[in-house]
Homo-oligomer: A and B are copies of this chain.
């Protein structure tokens, strides 16, 4: 099973070991001590390669982003909208794969080489749609925010599968006893659901629809929101700023 402890380790070995632990035992198990043990090292040996646990976490973030296909996202032969959808879906899938990915992504600025390249590809793509540089940068930021936000809501929902909350107000009454939130209750099915799964297939199918391979309920909500954002962003190209309220 195990490849056995290596004789000499490197930064990438440590990051790989950390990901293996993340996938098999969850985010809470990703510890300096645990990673070191997986490599047959003493905990303090890790500090030769990373100045802190946080630095290791940030290296993991960039490793995670390295799996994105930026070449495909930069192919001008494909519709930009389609490319954004594929890129966003891929990023969301990566974030959904591991528990606690939001903690990872929040451990420091997204200024690693792959994070910068991702941002660069997004800005360039929007500029290809005749957007000025500044707005293209804002659009890239907004798309990134949308993906991270949906990932955060996904993560929050998954975190509660095991744990039931306290569930009581100070008056002792149970939360949302009946129809006090009818709209939310009636639409919960549209927004909740599993991410990942078939998401990896997006962009591989090829020809027809943007969100053809979506089957999760949350996946279509994700695509819908992204489409509305892109609608608004791309519409800003035609009518610059002048139309006021």
Least distance between A153 CB and chain B CB atoms (Å): 6
Task: Say yes or no: A54 contacts B163, CB within 8 Å.
Answer: yes
Indicate if A148 sits at the interface (CB-CB under 8 A): yes
Could you mark each residue 91-128 of chain A with 1 if its beta carbon is under 8 Å from any beta carbon of chain B, else 0? 00000000010110111111111001101100110010
Residues of B within 8 A of A137 (CB): 183-184, 186-187, 190-191
Tally chain A residues at the interface, Cβ within 8 Å. 85
Name the B residues within 8 Å of A144 (CB-CB): 149, 153
Are B108 and A184 interface neighbours, CB within 8 A?
Answer: no
Would you call A133 and B186 a contact (CB within 8 A)? Answer: yes
Contact of A149 among B112, B150, B180, B230 (CB under 8 A): B150
Interface residues of A in 124-139 (CB under 8 A from B): 124, 127, 133-139
Contact of A22 with B by CB under 8 A: no
Chain A window 156-194, contacts with chain B (Cβ cutoff 8 Å), 1 for yes, 0 for no: 110110010110111000011000111110110011000
List the B side residues contacting A106 at CB < 8 Å.
Answer: 100, 102-103, 152, 155-156, 159
Residues in chain B near residue A150, CB distance under 8 A? 145, 149
Does A69 sit within 8 A of B, measured CB to CB?
Answer: no
In the bound complex, residues from chain B placing their C-beta under 8 Å from that of A135 are 224
> Of all chain B residues, which has the CB nearest A191?
B141
Q: Is A236 an interface residue (CB 8 A)?
A: yes
Asked if A232 is at the interface (CB within 8 A of a chain B CB), the reply is yes
In the bound complex, CA of A141 to CA of B133 (Å): 29
Query: Can you name 18 A-B residue pairings with CB atoms under 8 Å?
Result: A10-B170, A58-B166, A106-B156, A110-B153, A119-B184, A120-B183, A127-B183, A134-B187, A137-B186, A137-B191, A141-B221, A142-B228, A144-B153, A145-B145, A145-B150, A148-B149, A229-B232, A232-B233
State the 5 A-B residue pairs at the shortest beta-carbon distance, nearest first.
A149-B149, A145-B149, A231-B232, A137-B187, A142-B225
**Extra contacts besides A113-B176, A139-B225 (7): CB < 8 Å:** A51-B166, A58-B163, A110-B156, A120-B182, A138-B191, A141-B153, A142-B224
